[in-house]
Chain A
Amino acid sequence: MSLEARLLVTRPAFTLDLALEVRPGEVVALLGPNGAGKTTALRALAGLTSLSGGHISLHGAPLHTLPAESRPIGMVFQDYLLFPHLTALDNVAFGPRCQGVPKAEARAVAAALLERVGLAERAAARPRQLSGGQAQRVALARALAVRPELLLLDEPLAALDAHTRLEIRSHLRRHLADFDGVTVLVTHDPLDAMVLADRLIVIENGTMVQQGTPVEVARRPRTDYVARLVGLNLYRGVADGARVKVGELLLHTSEHLDGAAFVAFPPAAVALYRERPDGSPRNLWQARVDGIERHGDNVRVHLDGPVAAFADITPAAVADLDLTPGRQVWASVKATETHAYPA
């Protein structure tokens, strides 16, 4: 009893080929860069984009043979698409009305849902009178009003400003936890994905490159895109015991492995020196400063050398080291700060 699908959509310059299995009650996030095919996958599940091949089955019954209006789905769109000529209440009542629920009853259902998302007092407002966060909640209520078995969310928080986003994210998380159907959401924001989803599926160029729980994905990225999202330096090399050879560089790690392996460490674990440090730590290499940018309260230094790496240091350290692009520095990472895992 779950969603089981293989989505194949071919376009002239793009192919989406994605296998999905989601259990009831589970929230899966499709995470990927723009143009990776996340939204196409979601539209294919909804029936708004037709499949070139593959299948979709929900609770064992085929879904891909049904038109969008006959699928037991609820969808929240990126910019919500609330009907501008209807009130918030009538937007939410729209779905039940289409299912043949009498008007008064549909409105009662809608009013209850608006109450649940905390917008009972905005029932009579038109969409253009609602704030972004309110519109998002009405859109969620509208999607839930059809009692969907499959809930689809397309970049549900992308249109919100940073402050509202924080509030709506936790609000959405509560509602997704209460929802007992299958949820698939699409996002390019790793934080949204980590907070909202039980499992992440990372898509690049129309195919899945990694999946796992947010913790697994954050700890063990398998592509440069994921590593950048979760803020880690990532290298692929060959392990031999507690050492991983990455190109010309030998990195000492705390884990023992053999064969193809990934090594990851956070930019904050990278220490920089003007001169070769004494009592030298084992992971030490000479690098050239390629760029410097502000990063939160710290400064992110882009390093070139045997391996490309990011180092996060304090603004004071930048001044002490007199860092400028092109300068040669020594970079080091403690073995205990690295994390190695099989590739």
Chain B
Amino acid sequence: MGSFAPERVGPEGPRGGPAGRPATGREVSGRLPWMLVVPALAGLAFLVLPLAGLLIRAPWSTLLERLAEPHVLEALRLSLVCATIATAVCLVLGVPLAWLLARVEFPGRRLVRALVTVPLVLPPVVGGVALLLVLGRRGLVGQWLEATFGITLPFTTAGVIVAEAFVAMPFLVISVEGALRAADRRFEEAAATLGASRWTVFRRVTLPMVMPGVVAGGVLCWARALGEFGATITFAGNFPGTTRTMPLAVYLALETEPEAAIVLSLVLLAVSVIILASLRDRWVSAP
């Protein structure tokens, strides 16, 4: 018995090139094509210049006073609270929805997936109108909500959260579904052979393994909710203290005192950058 197949040896790794030639880089680099470089630079300027303009025109001397104004703080607090609660709602509803789309075969799954992404491409104002028609005082569900529980959503803080969640949830669902599809399902099989029910498999194996995708989706979702304007103003209105979030405040201030609008915009910009930077290294970028 001496004829066992030899142990297979893996493919050899790439070796360095012959001496005298750099291992990386191209031998002949040639000129960069202006057909690509010019539009690329223009695109970069287009993205960066407005942000630079915001910084240049900012009333730095009076910044702190303006930030401390009660209505600014109020709008900021409302924005942060609403976006956070909306994200929580999206997580509670969206993660199971993503799981359903990624893990369960059911008729019409493609249609459901298409429907989930509709709010992504729908103009937010249209979304707001649609929400009014369904959840408004005379709306299909809104009528029943008011009659049964005495709950009215339009023009309330809860309405802001509903509008933000409606617009932001597709970002979360798509992100989490992608993570679920990319995850190795054999770990779930291994858990099943150990006696784990499907719920236990989800809770103890699937969810921990797709956590980076869930966090990335949550961040996207939160950022989208924070900047929500169209659906919010249509469905929840523009009442200081209850529904006037930062984007609404910016828009309003622009007509009366442009400097205040700049300050508010800077705050939003700063919040976005801080969140992005703090999460980027740990979660958003792939390990």
Contacts and interface: CB of A to CB of B under 8 A. Distances in A.
A55 B190 CA distance: 22
Contacts of B194: 69, 74, 94-95, 98, 142-143, 145-146
A83 B209 CA distance: 9
Contacts of A229: 3-4
A48 B4 contact: no
B3 A228 contact: yes
B195 A95 contact: yes
A69 B208 contact: no
A129 interface: no
A69 B189 contact: no
Interface stretch (B111-119, B127-135, B196-204, B262-270): B196-204
Nearest to A296: B2
Contacts of B186: 77, 81
Interface string B1-28: 1111001000000000000000000000
Interface residues of B, number: 23
A69 B3 contact: no
Contacts of A69: 192-198
A119 B7 CA distance: 27
B191 interface: yes
Given A228-B3, A230-B1, A48 B192 contact: yes
Contacts of B198: 69
Contacts of A300: 3
Contacts of A230: 1, 3
A190 B198 CA distance: 37
Contact of A68 (B184, B187, B189): B189
A143 B191 CA distance: 10
Contact of A146 (B2, B189, B195, B204): B195
Interface of A: 46-48, 67-71, 73-75, 77, 81, 83-85, 94-95, 98-99, 142-143, 145-146, 152, 161-162, 189-191, 218, 228-231, 267-268, 295-296, 300, 310, 312
Interface of B: 1-4, 7, 184, 186-187, 189-198, 200, 204-205, 208-209
Task: Identify the 3 closest CB pairs spanning chains A and B, nearest first.
Answer: A231-B3, A95-B194, A98-B195
